[in-house]
Amino acid sequence: MRAGGEEQQALLRQVLGWRVAASIAWSVLLLPLCTAVFISISSIDLFHPIQWISNSFNDWYTSYVIFCILLMSVVILIISIFNVEFYAVVPSIPCSRLALLGKIIHPRQVIHSVVHAIMGMLVAWCAAVMTKGKFQFLALPCTASESLDGAVQHMCLNEYHLFLLLSGAFMGYNYSLLYLVNNMNYLPFPIIQQYKYLRFRRSLPLLVKRSCVESLYLVRNVCVAYYFFGYIPRAWISTTMDLNTDSKLHPLDTFTGLLDLSLLYHTWLCGIFLLITWHIAWLLFKIYATEAHHFPVQPTFAEETDQCLPKILNSNPPLIIKFLALQDLMLLSQYSPVRRQEVFSLSQPGGHPHNWTAISKECLNLLSDLTQKLIMQQEAAATNGRVKQPSTGELGRSLSSSEAAVTEEMAFQTQRSNVVSRAHMPSLVKSSLLPLKALSTSDLGSSFGSPFSSPALNRKAGILDLNSPWHGSVQSPHVMRRGPKLWTSSSDLQMNGSHQASFPVISFARVGNEAIQPSFIYTWLQNKQEQVRSFLSKRVLIMYFFSKHPEASIQAVFSDAQMHIWALEGLSRLVAASFTEDRFGVVQTTLPAILNTLLILQEVVDKHFKLPHASSKPPRISGSLMDTSYKTLRFALRASLKTAIYRITTTFGEHLNAVQVSAEHKKRLQQFLEFKE
């Protein structure tokens, strides 16, 4: 297990390592350019343009500036390290305000904020030094103290410098806060493939524009904050560094003091500089990290087996690797006939379609996981009284009726629908579904083996079945059908607050092995939680924090839908390509399973969009720098699911009638064939 983990880490390092290095290198290389522009603009002098240009040329080479660039390179490096540490391919969406608050005061985030505030201060210091003029030093000789003995000159605090430093810290903290709130750590994958340079160039104008506007708001906020609280840091610095206050100059925390145009302009420029350099580092990391990676389908050397696509899909790699692998699957299924041929090929000694088996198995697993998740969510919505109960029951019945119709050869399909109808149990049994998943995987393996009808394989599958805790229930539908009833009754009892309800649970648990034991505790905990929540919900303030935003919780369900979209696209394109390219017919054996999974998912997704809380249209997206595509993933999923089914039906056409699927699905397929969905 540990060895596997290390392998995964090595793979992650291998895939992501050079990308991170390249992105950091580029953002550091772009830093002198930004600095040069900053220096020129900050010393702008429209009345003497020639002098201005020659001055700024000279300024670029001063030792101050070079030191500042070095210092800021370190800052960029640290910012990039934070970007790498905090990135996520699946955004975390806080469902209530309390969750958001919890995220803000989470130690990880606090460290993030503090470091960013310090970095902001460093950048502001560099900006102040490079701006020169009245901003350059923190301490200046006092102008007021006309001391008679010139030997002892008093040093006074330069409040402009302090203001700039504090605004830098404020901006850094604000950046960190927005980073969290806007999910800037989320890596959105682009809808079209493009070269990195073009992607960067495309985003650059928007980045500059957004940074300017954001900086403007930040300056306003800094001014307000300084007006009210400015005296605290000023007094503190003055006392610790033993500096006097210059009595001739206006203190800055007054109205007139803050109305200094040059101060505001330079603070604004400093904010722009800070935001642009940091955003560039962030953007470059995003572009590099989401670039398509080419995983080999067939290993050319023995040591490469861990890096080839089927292996990666089937292992449990870091999410980013999984995303990249699925993206590569989608791309190869779309663009590369040569690599598709490798997917359809048979293994050399033995003649097994290992590549296709592994890939399709993983895709189907992903999709049926999503189906289960959605059913569970609908179930939860139904128990909350928003939706009538029969709707889900109907699906279950239809599935069990289809169960009766299928023949022995379709054992795979039967078990699959078992899995789904099992998922109709109340959502309380989440943990007990885990062994089921393992079971479905093993079944899948056996069904893949079956066309080659090797008895050894079948026996092996049988053994696997016996080992699985659900052996009994899968074999006899009797027990299975009784299962849900038991569960609902027990949970009903528990709703009444009686602890005796534990008895039937345990008795059932004995039937189904100990795998269920944790779910009882889970049930009890959830019950308690529910009680506490209902008690607290009567208090308005707490309600404000606890109230779940329906849109957010739906977004949370679909937060990793990008994976499923790619799986759908990759699978459907491969199946469509197999119509002409699959010489050995390896895809045909799994076609019923694929169609079944897609149609069940389609049914569930349709139902999901009919839930009262789900809006049927994506919200308007303003042209912002932040990517909010995760908010609309469910619409993309719905569209690509439909396209995937249509892709298969239009390619195969009438031949689909020969595929063995249940009567209900046949009807559904017919509708797709007639373009009536």
| Contact (Cβ atoms closer than 8 angstroms) between residue 247 and residue 144 | yes
Site for another protein in 170-229 (CB under 8 A): 190-195, 198, 202
> 2, 388, 538, 676: which one contacts another protein (CB under 8 A)?
676
Q: Nearest approach, Cβ of 324 to another protein (angstroms)?
A: 16
Estimate to the nearest angstrom the gap between the alpha carbon of 433 and the chain centroid: 24
Residues 84-103 within binding reach of another protein (CB under 8 A):
none
Task: Please report, as residue ranges, which positions from 228 to 247 form the binding site for another protein (by CB under 8 A).
Answer: none
From the list 14-22, 144-152, 391-399, 615-623, the region that binds another protein by CB under 8 A is 615-623
Rounded to whole angstroms, the Cα distance separating 652 from 655 reads 5
Please list the residues that pair with 88 across neighbouring strands: 186
Does 109 engage in binding with another protein (CB under 8 A)? no
Q: Which is nearer to another protein, 521 or 621 (CB)?
A: 621
- Other C-beta atoms closer than 10 Å to the C-beta of 442 total 18
Residue 610 touches another protein, criterion: CB under 8 A: no
Instruction: Extract the tokens encoding 656.
Output: 């689909």
Whole-angstrom Cα distance, residue 264 to residue 227? 13
334 in contact with another protein (CB under 8 A): yes
| Size of interface with another protein, in residues (CB under 8 A) | 41
C-beta neighbour count of 518 within 10 angstroms: 14
Shortest distance, position 609 Cβ to another protein, whole Å: 12
Residue whose structure tokens are 């000279």: 58
Contact 226, 253 (CB under 8 A): yes
Is 337 or 390 the residue whose CB approaches another protein more closely?
337
Dihedral (Cα; 323, 329, 331, 332), 10-degree rounding: 150
Residues 563-582, one symbol each (x = binds another protein by CB under 8 A, - = not), give ------x---x---------
Can you give the C-alpha Rg of the chain in angstroms? Answer: 31
Q: Judged by CB under 8 A, does residue 8 bind another protein? A: no
3-state helix, strand, coil in the chain (%, to 5): 75, 0, 25
Asked if residue 667 binds another protein (CB under 8 A), the reply is no
Query: Which amino acid does the sequence have at 57?
Result: F
Instruction: Give the integer Cα–Cα distance in Å for 76 and 273.
Output: 12
Give the position of tokens 């980073």: 179
Give 43-94 as a 3 state SS string: CCCCCCHHHHHHHHHHHCCCHHHHHHHHHHHHHHHHHHHHHHHHCECCCCCC
* Binding residue for another protein, selected from 336, 488, 513, 660, defined by CB under 8 A: 336
C-beta of 198 vs 525, nearer to another protein:
198
The footprint of another protein on residues 50-69 (CB under 8 A) is none
541 lies in the binding site for another protein (CB under 8 A): no
Measured from the CB atom, the residue of 374 and 420 that comes closer to another protein is 374
Asked whether 563 and 571 are in contact (CB, 8 A), the reply is: no
Q: Fill in the DSSP letter of residue 105.
A: T
In the complex, minimum distance from the CB of residue 625 to another protein, in angstroms, rounded to a whole number = 14
CB atoms closer than 10 angstroms to residue 384? 9
Q: How far is the CB of 386 from another protein (least distance, A)?
A: 22
The amino acid sitting at 398 is S
Cβ closer to another protein: 529 or 624? Answer: 624
Tell me: does residue 332 bind another protein (CB under 8 A).
Answer: yes
* Cα of 561 vs its chain's centroid, Å: 9
Determine, following the binding rule CB under 8 A, whether residue 618 of this chain makes contact with another protein.
yes
- Residue 255, interface with another protein (CB under 8 A)? no
In the numeric block, the tokens 């779910």 are attached to 519
Least gap, CB of 191 to another protein (angstroms): 5
Task: Pick the closer one to another protein by CB: 416 or 573.
Answer: 573
If one asks whether residue 617 binds another protein (CB under 8 A), the answer comes out as yes
Q: Does 636 bind another protein (CB under 8 A)?
A: yes
Minimal distance in Å, beta carbon 630 to another protein?
10
Sole binder of another protein in the list 99, 635, 659, 666 (CB under 8 A): 635
User: Considering only residues 338, 540, 541, 658, which one is a binding residue for another protein as defined by CB under 8 A?
Assistant: 338
Window 495-514: contact mask with another protein (x via CB under 8 A): --------------------
Q: Which pair of tokens denotes residue 97? A: 């305000």
Q: Are 438 and 449 in contact (CB under 8 A)?
A: no
- Residue owning tokens 């049988």: 462
| Interacting residue ranges for another protein, rule: CB under 8 A | 190-195, 198, 202, 332, 334-339, 569, 573, 617-618, 620-621, 623, 629, 632-633, 635-636, 638-640, 642-643, 646-647, 650, 653-654, 674-677
